[in-house]
Structure 1
Amino acid sequence: MTGTSLPIAGEATLRRYVRSLFRRHRRAFGIVIAAHTVAAGAALVGPIVLGGLVEGLSTDLSTARVDLAAGVFLVALVIQTVFTRITRLRAGILGEEVLADLREDFLARAVNLPTGVVERAGTGDLVSRTTTDVDRLNHAVRDAVPEIVIACITGLFVGGALVITAPQLAVVWLVSVPLLVVSSRWYFKRAPQSYRAESATYASVSASIAETVDAGQTTELYRLGPQRTAITDARIARWISWERYTLWLRTCWFPVIEAGYVIPLVGVLAYGGWLVSQGTISIGQLTTALLLTQMLVEPIDLILMWYDELQVGQASLARLVGVQEVPDPETDPSLSPVDDRLVVDDVRFGYRAGRDVLHGIDLDVAPGERLALVGPSGAGKSTLGRLLAGIYAPRTGTVEMGGAALSMMTAEAVRTQVALVNQEHHVFVGTVRDNLLLARPDADDEALLAALDAVDATPWVAELPDGLGTRVGTGGHGLAPGQSQQLALARLILADPHTLVLDEATSLLDPRAARHLERSLDAVLEGRTVIAIAHRLHTAYDADRIAVVDGGRITELGSHDELVAADGAYAALWRSWQDAD
């Protein structure tokens, strides 16, 4: 069910998102610019004062003038130091605020992604965006953006001062402009897509490792280790090849840029010396111009260096913002089921275009009915269960609850009607009470204990150090797999949907405990519609009807006794299970 990566944001989406971030933080951004404008202006005092002193050497340089120049320079230095500190501090705070917004925006969108989209993309892609891409963007937002803004302001001030002081020498910089522009255009034409490819291939490596670890038992059982290793090695090789390519781009670009800094400095010194010898400019102007030229190298270097870092950040930002481009499913908020009847009409569905997993499924589940889905592994039982739970929308046909198509109802509305409980159970960091209140925030402790009692979890909860107040999850009290699953089932009872789709909901319990838990649930689930994807046939035995799924089709439908009497596929499964038992 994996293989379809989440989208990567295009240029238009990125520009809109960056503009929205700027609007949110325009006041803080303005403070940074204003503070550094003062700092940059104060930084110009040093070269101008020193140039004046050098000029004074050829006339009459009094002690008072030196003292005045020193005093002015000291004051300017203090102002520059104070406002530089303010700039760095405010820029750092701004970076943290922007980074917090990026994380919150991503999380807010990620948790609202359609479940089917996340399942198709796989966890590796989503996890790599929340870890690797956030880490890379962390450096860009905290350092690159503030540094580029500061460098641009400094460059404008220093460049303007150079033009005013010695316009003839400012022209020397034009010699380096073609070199800087051409090499930078060559680099930045290739760098962004290369960094994106590097991030994408790293995500595929993470996905491969995560899938292999998650399916560790299956990998070992079917001796798929060499195959999984080969797949992972191939993905790592692609990732390394992109890493090498981006490194090659930098090794070509950086030396050219360094040459572009040296040429203006040498040119100003040589051309300025000739102009001084011709009497066109004074020695003081040359001194000031040389100092300003040296000062101009740093902001330009910072702009180019951090812009390169920004390319990495832009690639990561495109992946983070890409989740914004996942289209929300078309829904009709006004849709409301008239009853609890679940009807499947000629449903076809596939994870990939042209390859259906389900073929022409028809099913009518009455309110309060217990239906078991049985069949061989890979027959399509779990896929059908996800369609019945409203997680996937059929390619053709309809899945309706009380006359309302589940695919057209909002996710919130669907969850109040039907819920899927599968093998994946989650214990969130917090207390047992916190974990249960996720399903019903207004529930009191009495309701929570009743839900735990319904799934026979009361004994072990009572033995916890602080009962409902015991912290569980990462860093808290460890729960056994069966206990974690009971906690998930208790949440289900509190959520109180009228239709439940159980996909191996008790698979992590031993057979005796699973049987006991299922019997306990009988009383709780009385009056609800229950669709159980049965891997243990005793679950099917207890059902009102059994649907045998094979090859993406329902091949048999009826009660246990009817299907055994028919002596078909179910009867063979039943005899095989009894013999094994």
Structure 2
Amino acid sequence: MRSQLLPTATARDTGSFAWSLVRDRRLPLAVTVLAFVGAGLAGLVPPWLIGRLVDAVRAGTGEHAAVVAAVGTGISAVIGGLLTWVAMSALASFSEPALAATREEVFEQALALDASRVEEAGAGDLLSRVGDDVQSVSEALVDVVPVLAQSAVAVVLTVVGLVAIDWRLALAGLVTAPFYYASLRWYLRHSSAFYAEQRIAQGERAQAVLDGVQESRTIRAFGWSAAHLSLIDTASDRARRISLDVFGMLTRFFGRNNRAEYIGLACILGAGFALVRSDLTTVGAVTAAALLFHRLFNPIGALLGLFDDLQAGVAALARLAGVALLPRPAADPAGAAPAAGDLRLAGVTFRYDATAAPAVVDVDLTIPAGRRVAVVGRTGAGKTTLGALAAGVLRPTGGCVSIGDGPLPEQRLREEVVIVS
């Protein structure tokens, strides 16, 4: 049941969890930001030099300006490349340890989880988190974060460069901002639910496949193969349909972005024509402004487009944080004496689902201390369920399990009785 899945952290808790992973690595984070800013500034040089070259050609002094433009563009490209390398190296030096810490913390918490809670959620949900979700966060850190950082810096510095060239041309370019905003708002409104649903569907699919592998003999013995294959097919089809819906949403999103780009460039060229005609600016300034604005296409497209991968990464991180932030069972008080006496199951009944038939019904069993007991029976008779109830892995629907003088808390019971499958 979906209500039994392990929790997903809230946006606030996810943010706190992410910050806890990087707060001790602030120096490489600062180096990353500064290096990306430097690389972004280097990227502003070529459009500015080309604009100066255009004005120099119109004035008849283009030869010297052409040499300056060529040399300056080459130097800025080298500097930009070096700073990008520094930024990527610094980014790796804090993101990779953070990712390793995430893996370790989630795995450690998974091992400490209450066994009955894992049973309720299904092993597939937990496996999809420590597998698929960790992989999604890893891809976001390695592939998405660097591009997002570069793109964000490029957008901010390019806007500053446009203002420095001519504030009126910058104002014309900003006409496109509401269109980008509307596109992003439309995307965020539609995408959040899609990605959350996609992660849940992947967990349910993993659980269905895992059940089929682990319980294959039982499924075959009861002739449930066709029914379980149908269950796997339904879960897989649901995950597939959600993925196709996401792809269709992205196609519409990119179309909206292309429309915003066309509007912005048309406004800059139109305003530039009017300003040049009125001798309020130069052709070189309009050229530089148009090139700078055109330079925004890729960064803005990356910022908006990578929200796809970023949303998936954030959704995965929220699921990991949901596991990592679960409260751990309280440890036994120091010096607590081990329980002594017979293991008793009194009137124990258990149902895996409220609507399903009980797996065991009204079982009375006493196992004297130190005695070995073998439980035998046909497949599906409830042997595994009975062992899980005795060990405190499952909570009885009716009746109680006790050792010695009386019932023990579930955590103590799990410390006294161990299942070796």
The two structures have a TM-score, normalised by structure 2, of 0.87
Match of 1:383 among 362, 385, 397: 385
Query: For residue 273 of structure 2, what is the amino acid of its counterpart?
Result: G
**Residue 420 (structure 2) aligns with:** 421
1:65-84 residue CA offsets vs partner (Å, 9 max, x unmatched): 55445444333222112112
Asked if 2 retains the 8 angstrom alpha-carbon contact of 1:333 and 1:409, the reply is no
Asked if 1 retains the 8 angstrom alpha-carbon contact of 2:392 and 2:410, the reply is no
How far apart are residue 189 of structure 1 and its match? 1.2
Map 1:420-459 onto structure 2 (within 5 A). Answer: 420-422=419-421
How far apart are residue 39 of structure 1 and its match? 1.0
How far apart are residue 8 of structure 1 and its match? 2.4
More helix by share: 2
**Residue 207 (structure 2) aligns with:** 207
Task: Give the whole-Å Cα distance in 2 for the aligned partners of 1:319 and 1:401.
Answer: 37
How far apart are residue 365 of structure 1 and its match? 4.4
How far apart are residue 284 of structure 1 and its match? 2.3
**Residue 538 (structure 1) aligns with:** none
**Residue 129 (structure 1) aligns with:** 129
**Residue 152 (structure 2) aligns with:** 152
How far apart are residue 297 of structure 1 and its match? 1.9
Alpha carbons of structure 1 residues 18 and 372: separation in structure 2 relative to 1, 3 Å:
same
**Residue 370 (structure 2) aligns with:** 368
Map 1:506-517 onto structure 2 (within 5 A). Answer: none
Alpha carbons of structure 1 residues 273 and 390: separation in structure 2 relative to 1, 3 Å:
same
Map 1:80-229 onto structure 2 (within 5 A). Answer: 80-229=80-229
Alpha carbons of structure 1 residues 4 and 22: separation in structure 2 relative to 1, 3 Å:
same
Asked if 2 retains the 8 angstrom alpha-carbon contact of 1:337 and 1:402, the reply is no
Alpha carbons of structure 1 residues 386 and 244: separation in structure 2 relative to 1, 3 Å:
same
**Residue 61 (structure 2) aligns with:** 61
Alpha carbons of structure 1 residues 51 and 88: separation in structure 2 relative to 1, 3 Å:
same
How far apart are residue 204 of structure 1 and its match? 1.9
How far apart are residue 86 of structure 1 and its match? 2.2
Alpha carbons of structure 1 residues 265 and 290: separation in structure 2 relative to 1, 3 Å:
same
Asked if 2 retains the 8 angstrom alpha-carbon contact of 1:337 and 1:404, the reply is no
How far apart are residue 52 of structure 1 and its match? 2.2
Asked if 2 retains the 8 angstrom alpha-carbon contact of 1:7 and 1:325, the reply is no
Asked if 2 retains the 8 angstrom alpha-carbon contact of 1:6 and 1:326, the reply is no
Q: Matched residue of 2:265: which SS?
A: helix
Which 5+ residue runs of structure 2 have no aligned equivalent?
none
The two structures have a TM-score, normalised by structure 1, of 0.65
Q: Name the stretch that deviates more: 390-399 or 152-161.
A: 390-399
Q: Matched residue of 1:171: which SS?
A: helix
1:264-305 residue CA offsets vs partner (Å, 9 max, x unmatched): 112211211111111111222212211211112221111111
Task: Give the whole-Å Cα distance in 1 for the aligned partners of 2:292 and 2:181.
Answer: 21
Asked if 2 retains the 8 angstrom alpha-carbon contact of 1:3 and 1:122, the reply is no
Q: How many residues align?
A: 419
**Residue 337 (structure 1) aligns with:** 338
Alpha carbons of structure 1 residues 338 and 317: separation in structure 2 relative to 1, 3 Å:
closer
Asked if 1 retains the 8 angstrom alpha-carbon contact of 2:218 and 2:380, the reply is no
Task: Give the whole-Å Cα distance in 2 for the aligned partners of 1:231 and 1:72.
Answer: 64
Q: Name the stretch that deviates more: 148-157 or 220-229.
A: 220-229
**Residue 318 (structure 1) aligns with:** 318
Asked if 1 retains the 8 angstrom alpha-carbon contact of 2:201 and 2:239, the reply is yes
Task: Give the whole-Å Cα distance in 1 for the aligned partners of 2:411 and 2:114.
Answer: 12
Alpha carbons of structure 1 residues 226 and 380: separation in structure 2 relative to 1, 3 Å:
closer
Task: Give the whole-Å Cα distance in 1 for the aligned partners of 2:2 and 2:22.
Answer: 36
Q: Matched residue of 2:337: which SS?
A: coil
Query: For residue 389 of structure 1, what is the amino acid of its counterpart?
Result: A
Task: Give the whole-Å Cα distance in 2 for the aligned partners of 1:387 and 1:406.
Answer: 13
Task: Give the whole-Å Cα distance in 2 for the aligned partners of 1:21 and 1:150.
Answer: 22
**Residue 259 (structure 2) aligns with:** 259
Task: Give the whole-Å Cα distance in 2 for the aligned partners of 1:178 and 1:191.
Answer: 20
Alpha carbons of structure 1 residues 375 and 230: separation in structure 2 relative to 1, 3 Å:
closer
How far apart are residue 29 of structure 1 and its match? 1.8
**Residue 526 (structure 1) aligns with:** none
Alpha carbons of structure 1 residues 47 and 149: separation in structure 2 relative to 1, 3 Å:
same
Map 1:217-366 onto structure 2 (within 5 A). Answer: 217-329=217-329, 332-334=332-334, 335-337=336-338, 339-343=340-344, 350-352=351-353, 365-366=367-368
Alpha carbons of structure 1 residues 294 and 164: separation in structure 2 relative to 1, 3 Å:
same
Query: For residue 235 of structure 1, what is the amino acid of its counterpart?
Result: A
How far apart are residue 394 of structure 1 and its match? 4.7
Asked if 2 retains the 8 angstrom alpha-carbon contact of 1:180 and 1:257, the reply is yes
Query: For residue 391 of structure 2, what is the amino acid of its counterpart?
Result: A
Which 5+ residue runs of structure 1 have no aligned equivalent?
423-581
Task: Give the whole-Å Cα distance in 2 for the aligned partners of 1:182 and 1:324.
Answer: 36
Q: Name the stretch that deviates more: 319-328 or 181-190.
A: 319-328
Alpha carbons of structure 1 residues 53 and 404: separation in structure 2 relative to 1, 3 Å:
farther
Query: For residue 319 of structure 1, what is the amino acid of its counterpart?
Result: R
How far apart are residue 171 of structure 1 and its match? 1.4
How far apart are residue 117 of structure 1 and its match? 2.0
1:510-533 residue CA offsets vs partner (Å, 9 max, x unmatched): xxxxxxxxxxxxxxxxxxxxxxxx
**Residue 7 (structure 1) aligns with:** 7
Task: Give the whole-Å Cα distance in 1 for the aligned partners of 2:259 and 2:400.
Answer: 67
How far apart are residue 393 of structure 1 and its match? 4.3
**Residue 409 (structure 2) aligns with:** 407
Query: For residue 180 of structure 1, what is the amino acid of its counterpart?
Result: Y
Asked if 2 retains the 8 angstrom alpha-carbon contact of 1:399 and 1:405, the reply is yes
How far apart are residue 389 of structure 1 and its match? 2.0
Task: Give the whole-Å Cα distance in 1 for the aligned partners of 2:2 and 2:307.
Answer: 35
